[in-house]
Structure 1
């Protein structure tokens, strides 16, 4: 059981709350109602498989840096609770789960599976080359709602592109905020990030703009899908959460950028999911 817990901690399974609700939103919007239990089942497996593979691979590739970062001293791979070969096996098994799930959804899902996997593989290496690493992470997460839409409808249209964009810049913005804590470490080890490239004050300003774009994207999705007015209450609630999150961070104080800080972001996706369901059923 301790080994299982170590692997769950390594992939931070609780952070699935960030992307999985958006995945369900994509499915619900595509179906124009509640998808079947089978569709929900395979979409969930695909999401868990893709995300688990991405996290295990990322932690394996970044291990040499994580061992040097005091903030990561308790990570399972740093302590040795999870061995690199175990993380690689989990990555392969999770990718297999993702492909298996994709094969049980719309045929287009399996055809596009390599494109979905690509940013998951590229992202761990991006900090070595470019400050756009945060955007690549956003791209990886944007696939969650788009993939679910494809799983139901087998096409890609403007509403789901906008939803994917909104999710992508939302995630990228918070990843850049998180990266502000590591500017000194990144500079010392030749790593790249938005804070390293633009400085912390400008990065925080850029992140605010990105989150404005994100909220606008959620709003436009509602307009294009002719959503009931209750949907926009979820958009407003999401905006309020984002405003609060930005209000407690300054260029010189990141003490509140904790696990709780990031778990609050899950409120954005959960709120939008709840209000989307209510809107569809209204």
Structure 2
């Protein structure tokens, strides 16, 4: 995961270096600011891609065979703002591979079990990336870049973000509805906290006030993911070892 994320983020900075240089919000990123060169960033991408594929070889065959597919998805995202407003969902698709990838890494097989959590990540990421993109609505329009805020406007973009986050919340609730006796109260706490953080970020950002976008995007989602993951792991440990 670390190597894939390194590759994707560095490739995004490499590919968007000219765009970042024009955008006042991103002019101080490492490449436009001259702290690293474009070639150095590209070399970093290549090294991490190779390390990612090598690492999957030592996990199991299925991970290894699917590793180029995963890399394609996470790298392809960086191109999408050039031709589709659905770029936020492509980012979500890339991150949504994590639950499926983790399951395959542990079991060596594919299952429908982690797909629900992948959908949760897909909708969650799409929703919060729309919020993040509010900052660049005018710039994206001026540069003919595609995003939901640039296409629909801030008010409608926020409405769509709410819808996506409702779907995300449903995806983490559905396992409880299907098998209510299979979870400890730790999972319930994680789900409730996750949903509270989804609501909180929408209370922070309004159509006429996007000054707290970074708090909504980074802080709220950081807490949401960390607490839910911890609660999920504790729940899994208790159910596996103590039949809690």
Q: TM-score, normalised by structure 2?
A: 0.92
C-alpha distance in 1 between matches for 2:70 and 2:177: 27
Deviation of 1:151 (Å):
0.6
Contact 2:200/2:216 (8 A) holds in 1: no
The residue that corresponds to 1:112 in the other structure is 66
Q: Which runs of 5+ in 2 are unaligned?
A: 239-244
SS in 2 for 1:158: coil
Deviates more, 1:201-210 or 1:269-278: 269-278
Contact 2:204–2:216 (8 Å) recurs in 1: no
Which stretches of structure 1, 4 residues or more, deviate above 4 A after TM superposition?
Answer: 222-225
Gaps of at least 5 residues in structure 1 are 1-46
**What's the CA shift string for 1:227-271, capped at 9, x where partnerless?**
223201100001111111110101121111126741331111111
Counterpart contact for 1:66–1:72, Cα < 8 Å: yes
State the match for 1:237 in structure 2: 193
- Aligned mates of 2:132, 2:217 — CA distance in 1: 10
Aligned length: 236
Please tell me whether residue 275 in structure 1 is matched to residue 231 in structure 2: yes
Whether 1:194 aligns to 2:148 is: yes
Kept in 2: contact 1:159–1:224 (CA 8 A) = no
Q: 1:246 to 1:165 in 2, by over 3 A?
A: same
Map of 1:175 onto structure 2: 129
Q: 1:263 to 1:96 in 2, by over 3 A?
A: farther
Residues 1:88 and 2:37 aligned together: no
TM-score, normalisation: structure 1: 0.80
Q: 1:260 to 1:187 in 2, by over 3 A?
A: closer
Could you say if the C-alpha distance between residues 269 and 199 of structure 1 is closer, same or farther in structure 2, counting changes exceeding 3 Å?
Answer: same
The one-character-per-residue Cα deviations of 1:148-190 (angstroms, maximum 9, x if unpaired) are 1011112232221110110111111111111111111111111
Question: In the alignment, which of 110, 113, 123 is matched to residue 159 of structure 1?
Answer: 113
What's 1:144 paired with?
98
CA shift digits 1:197-246 (9 cap, x unpaired): 22211110111111111111112245557222320110000111111111
Q: Deviations over 1:121-142 (max 9, x none)?
A: 2111111100010000000000
Label 1:52 to 1:259 Cα distance change in 2 as closer, same or farther (>3 A). farther
2:34 counterpart of 1:77: no
- Coordinate RMSD, CA, aligned: 1.5
